[in-house]
Amino acid sequence: MSIQARPDLDILYRILVRTAQNQKTMSYEDLSNEYQRETGAWYHYHGTWDRPLGELNNRLYAAQRFPPLSAVVTYKPQTGEELIPGDGFWGSAPNVPERPRSSDRRQEVWAEILNRVYAADWPDQLPIVDEKHESPSDAWPSAEELAMLKARLSVPQPTYTTAEVLEHLRSLDRQ
């Protein structure tokens, strides 16, 4: 049995940023296929991506408090099912809550997060984590960082209602 290296976070970042910038989602299977297309390396879509996606979310949070980019990755819905992120998404980073108990609340929270991911100004390359924020356990922003976040939030940004995001996602599924 051979041991495979973990997926490259820089490549994973580029794939997910393209997806977010197009305001789309992708299934874990789509992610595996796209990663193979770009690298030639195949990673099975069942269970392979949880850890690298969590690492990516934590790195983005630690670097610049970006929203969890892995929100664009979902289970592949069966006919009539709603898009939902995998169970590994919930609680994967400081800015991702634990999995809500009710399905409706999960959809609502995920749509809010996805809205922030779609609205984010993603840099071309995966940000480097500075020494101050090396550990995901260093999750609480300083007073200065909170002030900067509040200032950024006061800038008008496009917003979508939960219903609009869900309808957009459903329309993508129908395509």
On whether the pTM is more than 0.85, the answer is: no
Residue 14 in tokens: 């580029």
Helices (H), 40-161: 50-64, 103-119, 143-154
Q: Which residues contact 140 (CB under 8 A, 6 or more apart)?
A: 94
Q: Where are the domains of the chain?
A: 9-174
One-letter-per-residue 3-state SS of 42-97: CCCCCCCCHHHHHHHHHHHHHHHCCCCHHHHEECCCCCCCCCCCCHHHCCCCCCCC
Q: Which amino acid is at 35?
A: Y
Q: Which residue has the tokens 């495979």?
A: 4
8 Å CB contact between 64 and 95 = no
Q: Which two tokens stand for residue 120?
A: 């984010």
- One digit per residue, the tens of pLDDT, for the chain of length 175 reads 445 678 899 999 999 999 999 999 999 999 999 999 999 988 888 878 999 999 999 999 999 899 999 999 999 887 777 888 988 999 999 999 999 999 999 999 999 999 999 999 999 999 987 655 444 444 445 556 656 666 665 555 556 666 666 676 666 666 6
